[in-house]
Amino acid sequence: MRDPFPTVSEGAISDWVGSRSFQRGRSYFKSGAILDPRLQGNTLKAWCQGSRPQPYHLWVVCGTEGIKEADCSCPVGGGGRCKHVAALLLTWSDQPDSFRAVEELDTNLERYSKSELIALVKQMVEVHPTLESLLEAVPPEDGRSSPLVDSESYRRQAELAIRTSFDDWGGTGDINIVLGSGDNFLAKSDYANAGIVYQAVAQEVFEHFEMVLDEYTGEYLYEVVNRCVQGLGTCLADGDGDTAARETALQALFAIYRSDSDYGGYAGEAAEDLILNHATDDEKRVIADWARTAMLAATGRYDSYRRQRYGGFLLALEDDHLDDDAFLEICRDSGRLDDLVDRLLTLERLDEALDEADRAQDFDLLTLAGIFGAHGYGRRLEPLVAKQIETTRIDGLVVWLKDQHEERGELAEALVLAKQLLEQRPGLVRYQDVRELSQRLGVWQVTRSELLAEWAAARQYGVLTDVYLNEGEIDLALKSVRQLERVSPYVGDRSIRVAQAAAETRPQAAVEIYQEQAEKWIEARGRKRYQEACIYLTKVRDLYRQMSQESTWTDFIAELRERHRRLRALQDELSKAGL
């Protein structure tokens, strides 16, 4: 055996897994969730009973400077930063004698004869039938060069692992074994075979992605794809002289990029970057043909995202030798309107840029407005935006046009648009914008009266409350928030904010609001809700003391305790809060 696993402090464990996982791991440790703990050299191994019926397998390796690496088979256990690893380390820290020492795996296996190993493998396959597929694609052996492997055998392994992932993550270990074969080839600098393995795994993931996509397996399988991308990137970066390896890696990376485009994930961007960073000029020309074919084939009704993505990739691949006309053609074919208009404006072809903008949808036009502004042509686009906002409710276009007028000092025009925004979505921030412009024009008092009367007539008491609070009108805020409580169940935190604002000048009104809030939390039942009630009751007590009405407080809290005498948890929380 190597040196035994050293003592690990709780601080080191918390630093490794994070404070939240550490606290949750402590609960697992105390409940005895760690099963069959083992010490194998400088590695801790165990099973941990988590929230699923099947326990998770986990291990931790220690180096000279502390915890070196770890892993857990739970959905978030990659890298070993989970609560289950925390529980394992806490078990070692507190109960090291519970770990039985076991030999290193290689040492143990070397003691067996060939016939014994065959019998052992048969027994393992009988217990875990999915292991039989591993015999079709034996991992590389150290010290030996390998012929090109059969990609289909690795695809079958990956498919089986993915399909069995339905059963409480039972198959995730198998897919890690397949990926481990690729990692082993990579460690031997056998880039061709490593690429074949990573390509096979990625192909099967996307082939079955819709079948297994959910909150847990979807996230996990994207991690699998990203491992494939990283491995293929190493094949591409380090395998300069290996033509077959580079061809496999490039084909696999582009296939991942293309499949990822269909699912809107994040693995494709990494694949795209690796191709752009490591492909030669000749290889980029080949890949550009693939991208152009894929772009032109994306003609479906809902394919605009994919066309634009392929177009952007194509522009990056051919960036060094594209002339302006070829650049514009790709932009038009892919629907990359922002790049198209930006290049047209760079070429000072303003009329063409305006024609393209005239055909833009609302959100696209908002993006183009920024581009026109950056080129100094914002004013030339204003008539198109003004026309568009007559029929759209896209706030961003109205804001952009308002800002254009305001920057030029055209305050009357800006105020009209600010009022339009406020009418579309009444709120304090927009009210403040109207107030500032109106004050600068000297028409604020008239404008304010009109707005408040309009909101009062429409019973928009929420915005009225916000405005009154902002302007220090405490009595009006108290009135409007009470009106809001009568007409709407969605008061939000307005009552509390009004009470806080009223505490100094209208303490009795604040007391009434806090009492009502406390009663609501009590009626909701539950210890945490009682704790919330105590927060408000504490404010009630402090306000009664502020008003020199301690006897009133004493009577109130006595009556409340008596009325809820059967709620033992509430009585307990009241006592804890000193109430």
Q: Which long-range contacts (CB under 8 A, 24 or more apart) does 429-433 make?
A: 431/463, 431/466, 431/467, 431/470, 432/470
| Residue 512 CA: distances (Å) to CA of 87, 189, 221, 276, 557 | 48, 75, 55, 66, 14
Q: Please list the residues that pair with 58 across neighbouring strands.
A: 46, 72
Q: What's the one-letter identity of residue 435? A: R
Asked whether the beta carbons of 86 and 26 are under 8 A apart, the reply is yes
Separation CA 249–CA 280 (nearest Å): 13
Separation CA 338–CA 372 (nearest Å): 10
- Alpha-carbon dihedral sign for residues 379, 383, 389, 392: negative
The closest of 542, 518, 540 to 531, measured between CA atoms, is 518
**Rg of the Cα atoms in the chain:** 34
- Alpha-carbon dihedral sign for residues 170, 171, 175, 180: positive
**The pair of three-digit structure tokens given for residue 284, joined into one six-digit string:** 């980029």
Give the list of residues 6+ apart from residue 364 with CB closer than 8 angstroms, or none. Answer: 337, 338
Separation CA 309–CA 473 (nearest Å): 53
**The pair of three-digit structure tokens given for residue 389, joined into one six-digit string:** 């906002």
Give the list of residues 6+ apart from residue 479 with CB closer than 8 angstroms, or none. Answer: none
One pLDDT digit (tens) per residue for the chain, 579 residues: 444 678 889 999 999 999 999 999 999 999 999 999 999 988 999 999 987 778 889 999 988 778 999 988 887 777 889 999 999 999 999 999 999 999 888 888 888 888 888 888 888 777 777 667 666 665 666 544 568 888 888 888 888 877 765 444 444 456 778 888 898 889 888 999 999 999 999 998 888 776 655 545 556 677 888 889 999 999 998 877 788 889 999 999 999 999 888 876 666 788 999 999 999 999 999 999 999 999 999 888 778 989 999 999 999 999 988 999 999 999 999 999 999 999 999 999 999 999 999 999 888 999 999 999 999 999 999 999 999 998 887 899 999 999 999 999 999 999 999 999 999 999 999 999 999 999 999 999 999 999 999 999 999 999 999 999 999 999 999 999 999 999 988 888 999 999 999 999 999 999 999 999 999 999 999 999 999 999 999 999 999 999 999 999 999 999 999 999 999 999 999 999 999
Give the list of residues 6+ apart from residue 330 with CB closer than 8 angstroms, or none. Answer: 311, 314, 315, 318, 322, 336
| Residue 21 CA: distances (Å) to CA of 62, 343, 480 | 19, 50, 46
Separation CA 150–CA 145 (nearest Å): 15
Q: Which residue carries 């055209």 as its tokens?
A: 410
In 49-204, DSSP assigns E strands to: 56-63, 66-72, 100-101
Look at residue 134 in the predicted model and tell me its pLDDT. 65
The closest of 415, 422, 494 to 451, measured between CA atoms, is 422
Determine if residue 548 is left, alpha or beta; phi over 0 gives left, psi from -120 to 50 gives alpha, anything else beta: left
Residues 372-407: pLDDT tens digits? 999 999 999 999 999 999 888 789 999 999 999 999
| Pairing label, strands 56-63, 43-48 | antiparallel
Look at residue 150 in the predicted model and tell me its pLDDT. 84
Look at residue 1 in the predicted model and tell me its pLDDT. 40
CB atoms within 10 A of CB 52: 14
- Alpha-carbon dihedral sign for residues 484, 486, 489, 491: positive
Separation CA 254–CA 317 (nearest Å): 12
Asked whether the beta carbons of 123 and 60 are under 8 A apart, the reply is no
- Alpha-carbon dihedral sign for residues 377, 382, 383, 389: positive
Asked whether the beta carbons of 518 and 574 are under 8 A apart, the reply is no
Look at residue 169 in the predicted model and tell me its pLDDT. 42
Grouping H, G, I as helix, E, B as strand and the rest as coil, residue 34 is: strand
Q: 403, exposed or middle or buried, with CB in 10 Å at 0-12, 13-18, 19+? A: middle
Determine if residue 79 is left, alpha or beta; phi over 0 gives left, psi from -120 to 50 gives alpha, anything else beta: left
**The pair of three-digit structure tokens given for residue 463, joined into one six-digit string:** 């915005």
Look at residue 524 in the predicted model and tell me its pLDDT. 92
Look at residue 509 in the predicted model and tell me its pLDDT. 95
The closest of 223, 239, 275, 236 to 254, measured between CA atoms, is 275
Separation CA 240–CA 233 (nearest Å): 12
Separation CA 435–CA 411 (nearest Å): 12
Look at residue 146 in the predicted model and tell me its pLDDT. 66
In degrees and rounded to multiples of 5, residue 102 shows phi and psi of -130, 155
CB atoms within 10 A of CB 247: 14
Asked whether the beta carbons of 86 and 21 are under 8 A apart, the reply is yes
If you write DSSP's letter for every residue of 118-135 in order, what string do you get? Answer: HHHHHHHHHH-GGGGGGG
